[in-house]
C-alpha cells in the first residue's frame, strides 16, 4: 500500500488496496492513519459490491442511518443514493441536490458523521472530455489556524445553532428536504471543536446549516458568520476532487467541509452511493 499526498491543502490517494477483498488489521490501521493525517482519501479503480462498501465502512464505526430514507438503496437501508438520474416515472432515483452548499455531513444532528464513504458509478463528462461535478473539500483545521487573532478571540468559547437544510430553505430550494426537515430539531454545537483523534482545533460552522452564533447580537452574529463561512472557501484550504468512475472516496467530517459543483445536467449522468459512519458529540476546543 502506498499513500500519495495530493500536494494541496489536504487529501491523498491510497494505491495498492483492493476494497473488494477483506483487509488485514495492519492494512486497515495504515488506512486509518492516512485518513487522520490527510482527511480526504481516494482509492481509484475500485470494483466493489454494496456488501463490500458496508463491510469496509462498518469497520470504521457504527453505520449511521441517514435521514434521506426515501433515497435509501432499495435493498440496503444504510446506503444513500446520490444522483441526478430520473426513473421511468420522472422521479429522482437519489438525492439530486446534495452538496449545493458547503457543509459537514450530518452536522445538523448531535453526532455529526465521523466518516463519509462515497463510491462513484457514473461521472458527468462532456463530449470534449471535461469532467464535471467536482467535489471540493476545505481543510477547516487549517482554516482555523490561519484565522486572524482578533477573530480567534471573538469566537473562542462560542456555540452555534445548526439546522437541517437551512440554506436550501432560505434560498427557496427546500422542497426535497421537507420531510427530513420536519423530523429534525435544531442542534447546538461549539463553534470551535477539537478533533477527537488528532486534537487539532477546527472551525465548525458551515453555510448550509449554521443559523447563528449564540450570545451575540443578531447583526454581529450574521456578520461574523458570513465572514467565517466564506473564509473556509479560500483556495489555500481547498482540495478539488475530480471524479472518475470507480473512485471510492472517504473523508473525515470533523476537519473538513465539502461542496459539489452542480455544473452538470441530464443527459449527463452522475450516480454515486454513500455511507456515513456515526461520530461522537463534538467537544469544544
Ligand atoms: C455529499 O454531500 O455527501 C455528496 C458529495 C458528492 O456528491 O460529491
In the chain, the domains with their CATH numbers are 2-278 (3.60.130.10)
Q: What's the CA-to-centroid distance between 266 and ligand 1, angstroms?
A: 18
Q: Is 90's pLDDT higher than 80?
A: yes
Atom of ligand 1 nearest to the CA of 99: 2
Q: Is 127's pLDDT higher than 90?
A: yes
Q: What gap in Å lies between CA 159 and CA 147, rounded to an integer? A: 17
Pocket, ligand 1, Cβ cutoff 6 A = 82, 98-99, 105, 116, 118, 135, 258, 260, 272, 274
Q: Is 67's pLDDT higher than 70?
A: no
Q: What's the CA-to-centroid distance between 98 and ligand 1, angstroms?
A: 5
Q: Which residue has the cell 443578531?
A: 218
Binned at pLDDT 50, 70 and 90, residue 70 comes out as: confident
Q: Is 259's pLDDT higher than 80?
A: yes
Nearest CA to ligand 1 atom 8: 135
Q: What's the CA-to-centroid distance between 99 and ligand 1, angstroms?
A: 5
Q: Residue 187: what pLDDT?
A: 97
For residues 65-71, give the mean pLDDT: 70
Atom of ligand 1 nearest to the CA of 82: 7
Q: Is 128's pLDDT higher than 90?
A: yes
CA distances (Å), origin 242, targets 16, 40, 57, 119, 234: 20, 13, 22, 13, 18
Q: Is 58's pLDDT higher than 80?
A: yes
Binned at pLDDT 50, 70 and 90, residue 230 comes out as: very high
Kind of pairing between the strands at 40-43 and 12-15: parallel
Q: What's the CA-to-centroid distance between 111 and ligand 1, angstroms?
A: 18
Q: What is the pTM of this model?
A: 0.96
127 CB-side CA count, 13 A = 1
Q: Is 154's pLDDT higher than 90?
A: yes
Q: What gap in Å lies between CA 72 and CA 82, rounded to an integer? A: 9
Model pLDDT for residues 29-39, shown as the tens digit of each residue = 999 999 999 99
Amino acid at each position: 500500500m502506498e499513500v500519495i499526498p495530493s500536494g494541496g491543502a489536504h487529501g491523498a490517494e491510497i494505491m495498492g488496496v483492493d476494497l473488494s477483498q477483506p483487509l488485514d488489521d495492519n492494512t486497515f490501521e495504515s488506512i486509518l492513519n492516512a485518513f487522520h493525517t490527510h482527511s480526504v482519501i481516494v482509492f481509484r479503480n475500485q470494483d466493489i459490491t454494496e456488501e463490500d462498501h458496508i463491510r469496509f465502512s462498518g469497520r470504521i464505526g457504527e453505520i449511521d442511518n441517514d435521514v434521506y430514507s426515501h433515497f435509501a438503496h432499495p435493498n440496503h437501508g444504510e446506503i444513500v443514493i446520490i444522483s441526478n438520474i430520473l426513473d421511468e416515472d420522472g422521479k429522482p432515483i437519489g438525492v439530486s441536490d446534495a452538496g449545493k452548499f458547503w457543509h459537514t455531513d450530518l452536522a445538523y444532528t448531535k453526532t455529526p458523521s465521523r466518516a463519509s464513504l462515497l463510491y462513484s458509478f457514473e461521472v458527468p463528462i462532456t463530449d470534449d472530455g471535461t469532467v464535471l461535478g467536482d467535489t471540493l473539500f476545505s481543510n477547516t483545521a487549517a482554516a482555523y489556524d490561519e484565522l486572524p487573532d482578533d477573530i480567534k478571540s471573538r469566537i473562542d468559547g462560542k456555540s452555534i445553532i445548526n439546522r437541517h437544510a437551512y440554506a436550501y430553505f432560505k434560498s427557496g430550494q427546500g422542497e426535497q428536504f421537507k420531510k427530513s426537515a420536519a423530523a429534525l430539531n435544531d442542534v447546538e454545537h461549539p463553534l470551535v471543536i477539537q478533533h477527537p483523534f488528532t486534537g487539532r482545533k477546527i472551525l465548525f460552522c458551515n453555510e448550509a446549516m449554521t443559523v447563528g452564533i449564540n450570545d451575540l447580537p443578531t447583526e454581529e452574529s450574521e456578520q461574523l458568520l458570513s465572514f467565517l463561512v466564506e473564509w473556509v472557501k479560500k483556495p489555500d484550504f481547498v482540495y478539488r476532487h475530480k471524479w472518475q468512475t470507480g473512485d471510492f472516496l472517504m473523508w473525515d467530517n470533523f476537519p473538513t467541509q465539502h461542496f459539489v459543483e452542480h455544473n452538470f445536467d441530464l443527459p449527463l449522468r452522475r450516480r454515486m452511493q454513500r455511507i456515513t459512519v456515526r461520530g461522537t458529540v463534538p467537544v469544544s476546543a
